[in-house]
Amino acid sequence: MVCQYCGREQRISLPQPAQTPQPQPQPYPYPYPRQAQSDGSLPWRAILGSGTILLAIFFFVAVRWLGNTAPTSIERAAIGQQPRATPIAPVAGAPDAWLSDAPVFLKSANDSPVLVGVAGFPNVGHQLSALSGETGQVLWRAPANNSAQAYTDGGSALLLADNNQLSRYDARSGKKLWTISVTDFIHDVTFGPNCASVYLSVDKILGIALETAQASPCTPVAPAAARIVRDELKDYRAVSGDLSVVGSLRADPKPINPEPTRLAVQVSRAGRVLWEAAPASLEPVWTSNGFRRSMTLTPAGVFVFGRHSGDGLSRRVLLDLSTGRSIYDLAGTTKVESRIYLASAGAMVFVSHDGRLEAYRAATGALVWLVGGER
């Protein structure tokens, strides 16, 4: 204090107010405090932090699920990857063309026919394909050229000939087992015990062991023949018990206004003709490549396929094996302009023509499925 009269200064100590101790900073309870507060509740910051984390986890799982486990753009940025377009796998669907001749068959576990041949697929191309004879479903497929021809022994041996190349495929999966090149164009392939006989020309018939693809002597069950010989006119012949079935052409001998040439069927027993039939509703199909007898023997009777002479639409007839009468005579909706190939297996008949493969139930003539056109 300073006296205002004499100017003398004197210091006096005054009591200081008590200092309130400041609370020390506590660490942030992450992810949540180990113990609750005295009132049994969690701090609001802990609740907010936990909710944020749970929301982030939910968002991450949802994004991954919607993206089918593919990294999102956020994830790619986090790990330093650049976004890229997802490749689109081609969808083959059903084949839209049949490029082989008559289908050949493989043995299946349930005795249902399995057909093999070269088919065309949209957006995929030509494929060696195995089809279920009952449904037409594709069992497997492998790349092939449209000029290739498939050959089987009716069991598990499957060979594909393409010009001067011969390949073997696994009958169950379609996996290629081996490929060899030969010295000439392959005209035909037939089979013997564990071997194949490859017809190259009149003086070149090559025997091949199926397992090793090495040259090996082979005595085929049926002799191989050049394709031009295979397509020459010859009668269709089949045997059912003691009955002999012959399919041929019947021409009208009249010199003026003759009737059209017909497909004729003759059945005999011990050399004695039991019946003959030449359905007038259909005619054989002639093309620049020749003619094939378009008929086949089935358990239901003799199935004959041709076209109507008026509109050119397909026609199919089933003849009773005992009497020769027509069990059915049905018209199709597709024009027939190319050579016809027939093959039968069990209760089914398979007809290929004009880039199509049609499967019929022999007993009823019903079209079950087809490849290469609208039903």
pLDDT in tens, 158-193: 999 999 999 999 999 999 999 999 999 999 999 999
Q: Domain limits of the chain?
A: 92-230, 231-375
What is the architecture of the domain spanning 92-230? Answer: Beta Barrel (2.40)
Kindly tell me if the per-residue pLDDT of 289 is higher than 70.
no
What is the architecture of the domain spanning 231-375? Answer: Beta Barrel (2.40)
> pTM for the full model?
0.71
Phi-psi region of 271 (alpha: psi -120 to 50; beta: other; left: phi over 0): left
Choose the weakest-confidence range: 94-108, 240-254, 343-357: 94-108
Contact in structure between 236 and 244 (CB atoms under 8 Å)? no
Choose the weakest-confidence range: 109-123, 124-138, 281-295: 281-295
pLDDT in tens, 71-87: 433 333 333 343 443 33
Contact in structure between 296 and 312 (CB atoms under 8 Å)? no
Catalogue the long-range contacts made by 203-209 (C-beta closer than 8 Å, 24 or more residues apart): 206/182, 208/166, 208/180
Tell me the one-letter amino acid at 147: S
Tokens 């089935």 belong to: 298
Choose the weakest-confidence range: 26-30, 55-59, 226-230: 26-30
Kindly tell me if the per-residue pLDDT of 31 is higher than 70.
no
Identical fold for domains 92-230 and 231-375, yes or no, is yes
Q: What is the mean pLDDT of the chain?
A: 79
pLDDT in tens, 225-266: 776 666 666 788 999 999 999 999 898 899 999 988 899 999
Confidence of residue 288 (pLDDT cuts 50, 70, 90): low
Confidence of residue 111 (pLDDT cuts 50, 70, 90): confident
Instruction: Give Cα separations from 23 to 20, 46, 176, 318 (angstroms).
Output: 9, 20, 81, 105
Kindly tell me if the per-residue pLDDT of 367 is higher than 70.
yes
Contact in structure between 265 and 302 (CB atoms under 8 Å)? yes
